[in-house]
Amino acid sequence: MGHTPGMSSPAASAPYTWDDFVALEEDDLRELIDGELVEVEVPTALHETIVWRLCAFLGAWALPRKAGIGFASGSKVRIGERRGVMPDVQFYRSGKEHPGRTDLGLISGHPDLAIEAVSTSSARYDRMTKLAWYASIGVPEYWIVDPATRMLERLVLQGEHYLVAEVYADDAVFRPDSFEGLEIPLAELWTMPLV
């Protein structure tokens, strides 16, 4: 999801904190960027379809394996006292401790996977700012899904930085080795459902 341009200001003058961010109403889609509560653009139907389908594929893979749990847009992740985001999809593996997970969001630690479906207005934010923030809290894997280019990039944390592990495009079937048995036919992400 993109952000309203020009809304961020230096952290020194920014008044908002993590507590303000998690106190927002459930339907308030602002993110906490350097102490400012910044509006995200309203997601398009295609964006929400991509998020819904990614959650469906991950859920269908995880449930029979008891492999973990996922959350879609709206679940908050704390980056720092003046930074908090809502990944489009986040996944937590079973068998790992996630003591920072509360009903209000993730107050410490990190998801095992974060996914962002980018738009024209959010591409820079998702590919640079969020990428650096996810690395700073130790998210081991980050997928960037771009419907405009019909690409999915799988990035893996190596030390303090992400390396591109795989890039899939068009109608390829994405089979990440970190999720053994998961298959995501990308063609199903780019197509709006008929209703």
For residue 182, with 0-12 CB atoms within 10 Å meaning exposed, 13-18 middle and 19 or more buried, which class applies? middle
Cβ atoms < 10 Å from Cβ of 111: 27
Q: What is the pLDDT of residue 96?
A: 84
Global confidence as pTM: 0.90
Q: What is the pLDDT of residue 164?
A: 98
Cβ atoms < 10 Å from Cβ of 14: 16
Q: Which amino acid is at 193?
A: P
Interval 44-103: pLDDT, tens: 899 999 999 999 999 999 999 999 999 987 899 999 999 999 999 999 999 888 888 888
Pick the closest to residue 15 from 34, 31, 39, 38 (CA basis): 34
Q: What is the pLDDT of residue 102?
A: 84
Q: Which amino acid is at 89?
A: V
Cβ contact 186:169 at 8 Å = yes
Q: What is the pLDDT of residue 5?
A: 42
Hey, is 183 helix, strand or coil? coil
Residue 193 has pLDDT above 90, yes or no: no
Q: What is the pLDDT of residue 194?
A: 66
Cβ contact 125:3 at 8 Å = yes
Percent of the chain with pLDDT over 90: 75
